[in-house]
A = this chain, B = another copy of it.
Amino acid sequence: MVDQKMYELGTRKSTIREAFEYGRQLAAREGEDKVFDFSLGNPNVPTPDFIKEAAVDILQTMEPSAVHGYTVAPGAPVARKAIADSLNKRFGTKFTEKNLFMTAGAAAACTICFKALYEEGDEYLTFAPFFPEYRCFVESVGGKLVVVPAKTEDFQIDFEAMEKCLSPHTKAVIVNSPNNPSGAVYSEETIKRLAEVLRTKEKEYGHPIFIIADEPYREIAFDGFTVPYIPNYYDNTLVCYSYSKSFSLPGERIGYIVVPDSVADFQAVYGAVAGAARILTHVNAPSLWQLVVGRCAGRSSDISIYKENGRLLYEGLIDAGFTCVKPQGAFYLFPKALEDDDYAFCERAKKYGLLLVPGKDFGCPGYFRAAYCIKTDTIRRSLPLFKKLAAEYGV
């Protein structure tokens, strides 16, 4: 009677959601202070005051129809222009409003790109560990997600493994840096090499291979780590951005796609993006938020809390005997589990109220994700428990 796959997608709980719900039950039973919920990637830096001020000012001073009326499908020209100008200033690009398409966040942006580019038999590559919804979104447009195994020593790209995964069917490579869940930032060296490999393969296969740069965490990179702007390294790049993290506006669904002039056929790609947005009913992103992010383009939340949290958790875990790549960006650590079965490990952690997500969910078994976008004090109080957990394993 209904689409069975939709039913399963709508009712099967993710491990993340299960951990979160277990935490709520535990809190109700034993008190909030007994729960250390590292499961959800919900930004905890407050929405900056300048966002509130911009929203209130727009509501109070502009004509309602100019705020709440339909915008053209790709979004309000004034917002797209402001964002293009801000990107140009930061990255030396030469975008104009016609390179921007406003979307309801990065998930919508990615799915629109997948749909726009898809032709029968196309494959989309991504690198483990990866955001699990990619599979769902790529398959929803008919594509196949091909996962390049993780390079666990530093969570950069394993190029040898990647070359084995590339084929004439490869339409695009999804790059998510700073990365969810590993917290790694791809270095300039990594991006340069990736660009070289893809350019070679484009020639070999005789067709473009796109990079879809999924960048909701772009502004969250710590000292010493810069996030290369991929369109400056590789022509066939589409950038998917969200203000969910940089402005702590995850509920408002606002972001954009950049289609640079440099892509193989700008008119075709931008046109297909517009068509995909149309049938996914994603034209005209929420209009108030278009104006707000346009007005605040180039600014960002204060990310010092994430930096402090990351350092604290990292040092605590190392001290407890875990192995883990140092935090570089986003708000996740991705340490090695203390037994091969990461599900069993996360189950055992629950005894201490430590809610973690198994690496297998991100295509990287044997590891776990700890989201540190939570109260610093919660992290501090969790450290002795991580020690106890490690002690169970004789670490």
Contact = CB atoms under 8 A, between A and B. Distances in A.
Interface of A: 1-3, 5-11, 42, 44, 46-47, 52, 55-56, 59-60, 64-65, 67-71, 104-105, 107-108, 111, 115-119, 136-137, 140, 207-208, 248-253, 264-265, 267-282, 284-290
Lowest 7 CB-CB distances: which A-B pairs, in order? A251-B287, A10-B275, A10-B274, A9-B275, A6-B275, A2-B272, A47-B64
A40 to B, nearest CB: 8
Contacts of A268: 1-2, 7
Contacts of A42: 69-70
Nearest to A288: B252
Given A276-B6, A289-B286, A207 B115 contact: no
B59 A52 contact: yes
Contact of A253 (B5, B111, B286): B286
Nearest to A70: B250
Nearest to A268: B2
Contact of A252 (B108, B250, B286): B286
A6 B104 contact: no
Given A46-B64, A68-B250, A275-B7, A281 B137 contact: yes
A115 B3 contact: yes
Contacts of A7: 268, 271-272, 275
Contacts of A2: 116-117, 119, 265, 268-269, 271-272
B251 A67 contact: yes
Classify the secondary structure of A's interface with B: helix
Nearest to A5: B275
Kindly report how many copies of this chain are found in the complex they form together: 2
Given A68-B252, A70-B42, A116 B3 contact: yes
B3 A272 contact: yes
A134 B125 CA distance: 33
A207 B1 CA distance: 8
B248 A64 contact: yes
A110 to B, nearest CB: 8
A69 B250 contact: yes
Contacts of A251: 67-71, 284, 286-288, 290
Nearest to A12: B275
Given A140-B280, A251-B290, 14 more contacts: A1-B119, A1-B265, A2-B265, A6-B271, A6-B276, A44-B65, A56-B60, A67-B251, A69-B250, A70-B251, A137-B281, A251-B287, A280-B280, A288-B288
Most buried by B among A59, A137, A267, A281: A281
A42 B71 CA distance: 10
Contacts of A68: 47, 248-252
17 contacts: A1-B117, A2-B268, A2-B269, A3-B115, A3-B272, A5-B275, A7-B272, A9-B278, A10-B116, A56-B60, A68-B249, A71-B251, A111-B280, A111-B281, A136-B279, A137-B279, A288-B288
B10 A277 contact: yes
A287 B64 contact: no
A42 B69 CA distance: 7
B56 A3 contact: no
A275 B69 contact: no
B271 A10 contact: yes
Nearest to A104: B104
A10 B272 contact: yes
